[in-house]
Amino acid sequence: MDDSRPADGPRRIKSVQTASEILAAIQRRPDPTFSDVCDELDASKGTVHTYLATLEEEGFVAKVDGRYRLGLRLVTMGETVRNETPLYRAGQLEVDKLADETSEYVHLTVVSRGKEVTIYESRGDNAVATDYHLRMREAPQYLHCTATGKAMLGHFDDDRVRDIIDDQGLVEQTDNTISDTDRLFDELERIRERGYAVNDEEELRGMRSIGAPIRGVDGDVCGAVSVTAPTSRLSGDRFRSEIPELVMQAANIIEVNLETTTFDPSR
Amino acid sequence: MDDSRPADGPRRIKSVQTASEILAAIQRRPDPTFSDVCDELDASKGTVHTYLATLEEEGFVAKVDGRYRLGLRLVTMGETVRNETPLYRAGQLEVDKLADETSEYVHLTVVSRGKEVTIYESRGDNAVATDYHLRMREAPQYLHCTATGKAMLGHFDDDRVRDIIDDQGLVEQTDNTISDTDRLFDELERIRERGYAVNDEEELRGMRSIGAPIRGVDGDVCGAVSVTAPTSRLSGDRFRSEIPELVMQAANIIEVNLETTTFDPSR
DNA sequence: AATCGTGTTTGTCTTTCTCAAACATTACGC
DNA sequence: GCGTAATGTTTGAGAAAGACAAACACGATT
């Protein structure tokens, strides 16, 4: 009856959770004013004020003429994360090369907490949907409707896939999105067989992608690479063999780089 | 006598400061274990543990086989910061173009809290010192010894420059670094006159750069762009006119983009 | 088998958050 | 130009949460 007790679980720092919510609120809103931020949180004005002052002092938030933004410290820290991801160092050049060869968008992604994050992107000369891709990188994306995501899911154990589906659901981003668990498992089977994944307007209408998984030194999938293009430019042979071939080659080369590159623990 | 009182100033959330310190500690150390993190903080093990668990849950920290890293949420948030910096959207293509034309490293930077942060970097085909530039982007850099930094300082008022010098000092990164206030002011005068700044091995031995300021719609400097190359490739006419010309052109075009592009507040 | 190192959990005291309300400051209407 | 509203900032004091230390678990190492 009395549910207002300590409610024991593992302990957390509530203030850190609150700060995290505030950052999320600022990220969500375009250019929030102080009261905009207050509206999104349920905490008193005074409290929010103290948090914002602290976050600003620490560089996580910046105030530009009366409005709040995320601070540049997030840029430098994000850079550190990328640089310390072996996949980034192993794959960057290859991704650039692939973008050059195809003239389209190329993405290098990793999985984190049931979604995927783009660790590096290269824009070929003809790449389209710049704005979409810009925004897309601001948040982790679903795995079930992208070529990279499906390529990676295809090489996880079924249990892990099931957990992800349970957590994230199979949100229909377009009419083509696979939103049925059984159909998704069939699709993953096919992906394993042929070695690459196809996203046929499942994420965004009018856009197709081809993605291939990248296995790390331990043999587990540690990321994926993909080429994305408008359907009109990604059809026929190019869709069925040329681009898949190039993507798988790139994935393969990145795997080799991963195995042969030493990532110095030196300062 | 009793100095251990509240010591009033503006209020801050201590837990957020602590969390920030923990993130800084993880960023500093290569791949810290739990006790590595404890060593860098003065807080009890139990406390640090609760913080790390919270930060991990929020995605700011990730635990990879027993060692801590900064989490991928920092990547997505950093991406948001870049995308919401008008200079990035206005300058990205131009920076790529300049890297193509020169085949060297090109940087687009902004000032924040007395230092500069690289908001975008493009690597030309011959660009050298990749590792240095990778690491450099992980932390804000001094303004007094880079071409971009000096280009921007040249267009701040003297008071602002003096404040920055007081805060940051004129650290000697190489033998060529300008570490004397008067000499720096003379240099800034020259920079204003000719419209671009030169970094002649002042940041890193063997490397020169040419940087030009970028003025925003309000007329104030909002960033800078630079080309960086080994001294052997950046001398003679190329150093004295060709590259400066290209850099100033790029800066100019970015300024025009800034004025003409509308940054939609739409979702 | 015992000790040491590393990481996790818990009881308790203390600090610090948080709220609400009062206080500034700027914008707005008339 | 004055009053009113809206927005942001500071403060006092109760309530909640953080911090420490010590105990606990688990492996590795001798």
**CB-CB contact of A26 with A69 (8 Å):** yes
- pLDDT of A182: 97
pLDDT at residue number B9: 77
Instruction: Indicate whether A58 pLDDT > 90.
Output: yes
Is residue B172 in some structural domain? yes
CB contact under 8 A, B13 and A13: no
Residues B114 and B235 in one domain: yes
Distance measured from the CA of protein residue B218 to the C1' of nucleotide C30, in angstroms? 34
pLDDT higher at B10 or A5:
B10
How many angstroms separate the CA of A34 from the C1' of C22?
19
- Is residue A80 domain-resident? no
In chain A, which residues have their Cβ closer than 8 Å to the Cβ of B262?
A: none
When pLDDT is averaged across residues B208-226 and rounded to a whole number, the result is: 95
For the stretch B220-244, pLDDT in tens is: 999 999 999 999 999 999 999 999 9
* Tokens linked to B237: 């006419």
Q: What is the mean pLDDT of chain A?
A: 94
Are B69 and B102 part of one and the same domain? no
Give me the pLDDT at residue B263, please: 56
Torsion angle (degrees, nearest 10) of CA A132, A138, A140, A141: -10
**pTM for the model:** 0.93
- Shared domain for B66 and B122, answered yes or no, is no
Q: Which nucleotide is nearest to B53 (CA to C1')?
A: C8
CATH number at residue A177: 3.30.450.40
- The average pLDDT across A191-212 equals 97
Q: Is residue B1 part of a domain?
A: no
Torsions phi, psi of B70, nearest 5? -70, 145
Q: Is the CB of B12 under 7 A from strand D?
A: no
One domain, residues A64 and A121: no
**Which residues, at least 6 apart from B207, have a Cβ–Cβ distance to it below 8 Å?**
B129, B199, B201, B228, B229, B230, B231
B131 shares its domain with B110: yes
Both B122 and B175 in a single domain?
A: yes
Q: What would the two tokens of residue B230 be?
A: 């080994």
> For chain A, what is the domain count?
2
Q: How far apart are CA B57 and CA B55, in angstroms?
A: 5
Q: Considering only A218-222, B25-29, B165-169, B181-185, which range has the smallest mean pLDDT?
A: A218-222
Give Cα B191 distance to the centre of its chain: 20
- pLDDT at residue A183 tops 70: yes
Residue A257 has pLDDT above 80, yes or no: yes
Angle between helices B73-83 and A14-28 (to 10 degrees): 40
Q: Is A198 exposed, middle or buried (0-12, 13-18, 19+ CB in 10 A)?
A: buried
Question: Per residue in B64-92, pLDDT tens?
Answer: 989 999 999 999 999 999 999 999 999 99
pLDDT of A2 reads: 39
pLDDT for the residue A211: 98
- Chain C bases near protein CB atoms (7 A cut-off): 6-11, 15-22
The enclosing domain of B29 has a CATH number of 1.10.10.10
pLDDT band at B179 (very low <50, low <70, confident <90, very high): very high
Q: Does residue B5 have a pLDDT over 70? A: no
Spell out the long-range contacts of B112-115 with Cβ–Cβ below 8 A and sequence spacing 24 or more.
B112/A59, B112/A62, B112/A71, B112/A72, B112/B140, B113/A59, B113/B140, B114/B143, B114/B163, B114/B164, B114/B167, B114/B168, B115/B140, B115/B141, B115/B142, B115/B143, B115/B168
Amino acid making up residue B88: Y
| CB contact (8 A) between residue A50 and residue B112 | no
Q: Which A-chain residues 30-69 have CB contacts (< 8 A) with chain B?
A: 30-31, 50-51, 53-55, 57-60, 62, 69
Residue B217 confidence (pLDDT): 87
What is the 3-class SS of chain B, one letter each residue? CCCCCCCCCCCCCHHHHHHHHHHHHHHHCCCCEHHHHHHHCCCCHHHHHHHHHHHHHHCCEEEECCEEEECCHHHHHHHHHHHCCHHHHHHHHHHHHHHHHHCCEEEEEEEECCEEEEEEEEECCCCCCHHHHHHHCCCCECCCCCHHHHHHHCCCCHHHHHHHHHHHCCCCCCCCCCCCHHHHHHHHHHHHHHCCEEEECCCCCCEEEEEEEEECCCCCEEEEEEEEEEHHHCCHHHHHHHHHHHHHHHHHHHHHHHHHCCCCCCC
Burial classification of residue B55, based on how many CB atoms lie within 10 Å of its CB (0-12 exposed, 13-18 middle, 19 or more buried): buried
A73-87, B139-153, B248-262: range with lowest mean pLDDT:
B248-262
Helix/strand/coil (H/E/C) assignment for every residue in chain A: CCCCCCCCCCCCCHHHHHHHHHHHHHHHCCCCEHHHHHHHCCCCHHHHHHHHHHHHHHCCEEEECCEEEECCHHHHHHHHHHHCCHHHHHHHHHHHHHHHHHCCEEEEEEEECCEEEEEEEEECCCCCCHHHHHHHCCCCECCCCCHHHHHHHCCCCHHHHHHHHHHHCCCCCCCCCCCCHHHHHHHHHHHHHHCCEEEECCCCCCEEEEEEEEECCCCCEEEEEEEEEEHHHCCHHHHHHHHHHHHHHHHHHHHHHHHHCCCCCCC
Co-location of A144 and A43 in the same domain? no
B70 lies in the same domain as B89: no
CA distances from A212 to A83, B121, B231 (A): 22, 27, 41
Spell out which residues of chain A touch residue B20, defining contact as CB-CB under 8 Å.
Answer: 58, 60
pLDDT of residue A8: 65
Domain assignment of residue B193, yes or no: yes
Name residue B181's amino acid.
Answer: T
Banded model confidence at residue B175, pLDDT cuts 50, 70, 90: very high
User: Does A235 fall in a domain?
Assistant: yes
* Domain membership of residue A216 as a residue range: 85-262
Condensed to tens digits (0 to 9), the pLDDT of residues A74-107 reads 999 999 999 999 999 999 999 999 999 999 999 9
**Is B256 an 8 Å CB contact of chain A?**
no
Same domain, A125 and A178: yes
Please determine, for residue B177, whether its predicted confidence score (pLDDT) is greater than 60. Answer: yes
Give yes or no for a contact between A59 and A73, defined as CB atoms under 8 angstroms apart.
Answer: yes
pLDDT for A1 beyond 50 = no
Q: Does residue A9 form part of some domain?
A: no
The average pLDDT across A231-248 equals: 97
* B120 contact residues in A (CB cutoff 8 A): none
Q: Are B207 and B131 in contact (CB under 8 A)?
A: no
Cβ contacts of residue B138 below 8 Å, gap of 6+? A76, A77, A79, A80, A83, B27
Indicate whether A105 and A237 sit together in one domain: yes
Predicted confidence band at A261 (pLDDT cuts at 50, 70, 90)?
A: confident
In a domain, B2, yes or no: no
With bands split at pLDDT 50, 70 and 90, how would you rate the model's confidence at B157?
Answer: very high
Mean pLDDT of all residues in A12-26: 98
Q: Are residues B120 and B101 in the same domain?
A: yes
Q: What average pLDDT does the segment B108-122 reach?
A: 97
How does the average pLDDT of chain B come out, rounded? 93
pLDDT tens-digit map of A217-226:
888 999 999 9
Instruction: Tell me the two tokens of residue B240.
Output: 């004295």
Chain B, window 137-166: residues with a beta carbon less than 8 angstroms from a chain A beta carbon: 137-140
Question: Which is more confidently placed, B266 or A178?
Answer: A178
Looking at A4-13, A99-108, A169-178, B16-25, which range is the least confident one? A4-13
Lowest mean pLDDT among A1-5, A56-60, A71-75, B35-39: A1-5
Q: Does the structure show a pLDDT above 60 at B187?
A: yes
Query: Mean pLDDT, to the nearest integer, of A16-43?
Result: 95
Q: What does the pLDDT read at residue B218?
A: 85
What pLDDT is attached to residue B86?
Answer: 94
Residue B180 lies in a domain: yes
> What is the C-alpha to C-alpha distance for residues A234 and A123, in angstroms, rounded to an integer?
16
Handedness of CA A181, A185, A186, A190 (dihedral sign): positive
Q: Is B146 in contact with B121 (CB distance < 8 Å)?
A: no
Please indicate, yes or no, whether residues B59 and B185 belong to a single structural domain of this protein. Answer: no
- Asked whether the predicted pLDDT for residue A118 surpasses 80, the reply is yes
- The mean pLDDT value for A166-170 works out to 96
Question: Of A75, A100, A125, which closes a domain?
Answer: A75
Residue A7 has pLDDT above 70, yes or no: no
Residue A190 has pLDDT above 80, yes or no: yes
Residues 107-126 of A with CB under 8 A from B: 110, 112-113, 117, 119
